[in-house]
Structure 1
Amino acid sequence: MDHLQRDAAARHGRQPGPERVSTPWLALLAGPLSYGISAPALVLDDLARAMGTGKEAAAAGVTAFGWGIALGTPLLAALLARRGVRAVLTVATALVVAGTVLLVLSSSVPVLVAGAAVQALGSAGLTVTAMKLAGSARRMGVVAASLAVVGATGPLTGALVTDSFSWQAALALPLLAVVAVPAARRGASPPDAVPASFDPLGTALLAMLVTAAVLTPHRPLVAGPATGALLLLLVVRTKVRPDGFPPAAVARNGRFLTACALAFGLAVANFAVLYAAPDLLREHAGWDGTLSGVVLLAPYLLGGFGSGFLVAASVRVPHRVVAAALLAAGAAAPLLAAVTTVVPLLLAAMALGSLAAATGQGVLALRAAGVVPASHEAEALGLFNLAYLLSVAFGPAIAVTLSL
């Protein structure tokens, strides 16, 4: 364990608050976010019929959810840093409930999109709060594993819930996280952060940057240059106002940015393989979508559960060794999936990608929080998760492009 990991462990060890919330509650607080990403995967046809529209239009809700979690993660992390856990839990719960109500009552695509975006904003706040409360490698491993396991089971769960109840019930699954909110509120320490002034310009620039980045895979000629320009403006903003949002101590920290870049790369590779998997299995094994969904549970559950143990064990290994192993595994997964036609090797590639991404999320989140000042840990976790979650926009787009 290098000195940064020791510093982070010591820092978290001095905080009494996180240990007051038991680990299963943290997993429940974070995990259901993944339902919003993966549960609609096998029910888009039902959505399209109910809305009287095409499948692509129905999928706009999934895109809106991805935008909402990407934007909501840093914004609610900033609220967490300024107002504390209980304030964020209140706001995030209200957003999840309001978004779910809109989704359940939706009868048109615009309402569906609005509901998914609002629900995602709240889900992002609950997840970043769970990570903040984790406070140790073991507990962070459980949080990361919960996200991966729920993501792996999401498509099948969504299909079963739709068959048993309705597609609205499948879209309401992220609401399960609210069950853990009372336990998190009881265990949270009073806020120890001094409220900072609001930075409307920095917040607006970040919101526009996230929106442009999410749209880049779909409108690259317009959104790509806009993303670059907004990124430059945000860099200038951190120089003009170092204490604004995002804070310069985080946004200009090279080690923090390296952790974010590696997490983004691992997640892009994993999502690219995940979204390419049904076509690959249909091509090489002749399996239909339902059978593929059942078979895919094995590699992705293996990756999810395995990541919990690997994150906990990572504190005993030098960070450079861990980072190199993650990079090697993350690169090997799409390469193996691209060159092999043997089904067991395809499944091995999927398990490897899932394991690398889920382990990387936990290990690198601890790293990202450990290399910044303690007063900026919440913002660091929010921005780190933003980098990780942006992969939801890029991974599937890459898989579709390569399949053409």
Structure 2
Amino acid sequence: MPTDHSRDDSRRVSLLLGLLFGLAGMGSSSAAIALPLIGSDLDVSAGTATWTISLYTLMLAVTTAVYGRFSDLVGIRIPLLVGVSLMTTGAVLAAAAPTFETLVLARMLQGAGAAAVPTLGVAVLNGRYSGAVRGLALGRLAGMAAAISCLGPLLGGVLEEALGWRAVMALPVLGLLVLPVLWPALTREGSGARLDLLGALLVAFTAAGVVLVVQSPSTGFVVLAAGVLLLVLGTPATIARVRRRPHGFLPMSVVRNGTVVRSAVAAAAVPASWFALLVAVPGVLVAHGWEPWQVGLLLVPSAALALVVPRVAGPLITSAGPTRAIAVAGGVATVALVIASVGATTVSAPLLGVGVLLVTVAFGLGQPAMTAAVADAVDADVRGVALGVATLVFLVGGSVGSAVVGGLGEPIGVGWSLAVLAALPLLGLATITAELRRPAVLD
């Protein structure tokens, strides 16, 4: 059972975790601002350059459940240390990459390491606090993470202007400075069971298939065929693995838990919107004469707003319940995408800025609401993997969001690609309709 620590402790721990989460998120937000220069420097198209975001986010998604399961087995300290080490190594390699192919591989390694942060961060808070204190802590984590991520484009733009895009790639190395301060709050205890590596690989291949199919319009038939093949082979193989190993990488108790699955699917529209705008806004404005640092400056109000959102998110999750909070976040995400779609079509910076402001609110509410819903729905011995699986689905949504803009942005335009994506939050709401009809259960 979670233990209620002092509010001062919950504030410190949650803000530090949010800082680490934000630095991991900077791997996308700061890199997105550098995409135009990366494309021209390494001789690839704008649509192809978005693979550095999509594949980063994909690795972030597919390995996040590995860390969740790993933490159940050995505690949080070792998995988080491994993850932050991989994240910083990938950042250094990306900064030194001589070719686009090398850059993509380094970004994938960076994403595989950064995946430790979101899952293990919320696992720390869910295991350490309960009730209203937990809700506030989760809200602070999401708010700080969103604020740092929103500052990523500005910092990335300034660094790109002064030192070039390679310096932007190295930003996540700063995560090494946060880990020692967090160390005392991290647990070392686990169940000692073994990790189902085959199950993890099957899930990774299947999720990769989704992203390849979505981004294939900008990359051709070979990528589409590869994605379809991964889906056709990976989906039944994953199902068979779960049935054969009910306590493996995807525990049957988690997969069959309707609250976990529905909450994750519904909430996935939020990062889809977030990552879509991270790619779309710089792409549209830089193409029309804006400097990267000017785009970053446009997004600074979102960083300030992100710090305020937890004051609303925590109490709303506690009073209305996590599922209703997810529904609100999905609705806000849809509005954000519609406004940003108009902004991209008309090249209106104010509308694009409003879209980012709204999606910041959606992220600051949707992410802690999803983690609270999942944590409440499972037993403590599988909480880490349940949060990992939910975060996997959540972040696959982010990868799909950037892939939609990268894949459809060239054939139909960025504005229309955002309009297509605006339907995703509505589909997510449909998955939790039954749960919305139930009375809210308050902590």
**Range into which the TM-score falls when normalised by the shorter chain:** 0.7 to 0.9
Shift of 1:44: 3.0
Percent identity (aligned): 23
What SS class does the counterpart of residue 269 from structure 2 fall into?
Answer: helix
Q: Which moves more between the two structures, 370-379 or 208-217?
A: 208-217
Equivalent of residue 329 in structure 1, options 332, 347, 356 = 332
Task: State the secondary structure of the residue aligned to 2:63.
Answer: helix
Distance in 1 between residues matched to 2:24 and 2:208, nearest whole Å: 19
Q: Secondary structure at the match of 1:13?
A: coil
For residue 247 of structure 2, what is the amino acid of its counterpart? D
CA gap of 1:45–1:333, structure 2 versus 1, over 3 A, is closer
**Cα displacement (A) at 1:32:** 0.5
**Pairing 1:184–2:204 present:** no
SS across alignment from 1:119: helix
- Across the two proteins, how many residue pairs are aligned to each other? 389
Match of 1:36 in 2: 27
CA distance in 1: counterparts of 2:285 and 2:34, whole angstroms = 20
**Which amino acid is 2:311 matched to?**
F
CA-to-partner distance for each residue in 1:160-212, whole Å, 9 max, x for gaps? Answer: 12233342221111111121211222222331x21222323212211211221
Q: CA deviation at 1:157?
A: 0.9
Aligned residue runs from structure 1 range 81-96, under 5 A:
81-96=72-87
Alignment of 1:4-403 (within 5 A): 11-13=1-3, 22-48=13-39, 50-51=41-42, 55=46, 58-135=49-126, 136-191=134-189, 193-219=190-216, 220=224, 222-224=226-228, 226-227=230-231, 229-277=233-281, 288=290, 290=292, 291-298=294-301, 300-301=302-303, 303-313=305-315, 314-338=317-341, 347-399=353-405, 400=409, 401=412, 403=414
Contact 1:267 1:395 in 2 (8 A): yes
Decide whether the 8 Å contact of 1:213 with 1:227 is kept in 2.
yes
Map of 1:7 onto structure 2: none
8 Å contact kept, 1:263–1:357: no
TM normalised by structure 2 equals 0.78
* 8 Å Cα contact 2:299/2:353 also seen in 1: yes
User: Post-superposition shift, 1:61?
Assistant: 2.9
1:22 aligns to what SS in structure 2?
helix
* Structure 2 residue identity aligned to 1:65: Y
The answer to whether the 8 Å contact 1:302/1:351 transfers is no
What SS does the aligned partner of 1:216 have?
helix
Partner of 2:434: none
Query: Does the aligned pair in 1 maintain the 2:92–2:173 contact within 8 Å?
Result: no
Q: Deviations over 1:258-286 (max 9, x none)?
A: 11011112222344455444577799xx7
Label 1:378 to 1:335 Cα distance change in 2 as closer, same or farther (>3 A): same
Give yes or no for contact 1:64–1:117 (8 Å, CA) kept in 2: yes
Per-residue CA distance 1:122-152 (angstroms, 9 max, x = gap): 1111332222112312121122122212222
**Alignment partner of 1:390: what SS?**
helix
- Counterpart of 1:379, as a letter, is V
Query: What is the one-letter code of the residue matched to 1:312?
Result: G
For residues 381 and 402 of structure 1, do their structure 2 counterparts lie closer, same or farther at Cα, with a shift above 3 Å needed? farther
What whole-Å deviation, never above 9, does each CA across 1:283-341 have from its counterpart, x for those lacking one? 9xx7735444422332x325522432233112122345423322322232223444687
Give the drift of 1:21.
Answer: 6.6
Structure 2, unmatched stretches of 5+, are: 127-133, 217-223, 417-443
Query: Separation in 1 of the partners of 2:229 and 2:111?
Result: 26
2:264–2:390: 8 Å Cα contact kept in structure 1?
yes
> What one-letter code is carried by the residue in structure 2 that aligns with 1:309?
R
Pair 1:120–1:318, CA change in 2 (3 A): closer
Paired residue type of 1:64: L
Do the aligned residues in 2 keep the contact of 1:303 with 1:358 (CA within 8 Å)? no
TM-score, structure 1 normalization: 0.85
State the Cα distance separating 1:64 from its structure 2 match: 3.1
* Structure 1 residue 357, shift from structure 2 partner: 2.5
- Which amino acid in 2 is paired with 1:12? P
Deviation of 1:89 (Å): 2.5
Secondary structure in structure 2 of the residue aligned to 1:324: helix
**Distance between the aligned counterparts of 2:186 and 2:5, measured in 1?**
11
CA RMSD of aligned residues (A): 3.0
1:5 is matched with none
Q: Which moved more, 1:259-268 or 1:229-238?
A: 229-238
CA distance in 1, matches of 2:42, 2:285: 30
Change (3 A) 1:187 1:397: closer
Structure 1 residues 159 and 327: alpha-carbon distance in aligned structure 2, compared to 1, 3 A threshold: closer
Separation in structure 1 between the aligned mates of residue 296 and residue 59 of structure 2, nearest angstrom: 26
SS across alignment from 1:242: coil
Deviation at 1:253, TM superposition (A): 0.9
Q: Name segments (4+ residues, structure 1) moved above 6 Å.
A: 279-283, 340-343
Q: Secondary structure at the match of 1:353?
A: helix
Deviates more, 1:174-183 or 1:325-334: 325-334
Unaligned runs of 5+ in 1: 1-10
1:189 counterpart SS class: coil
Secondary structure (helix, strand or coil) at the match of 2:158 reads: helix
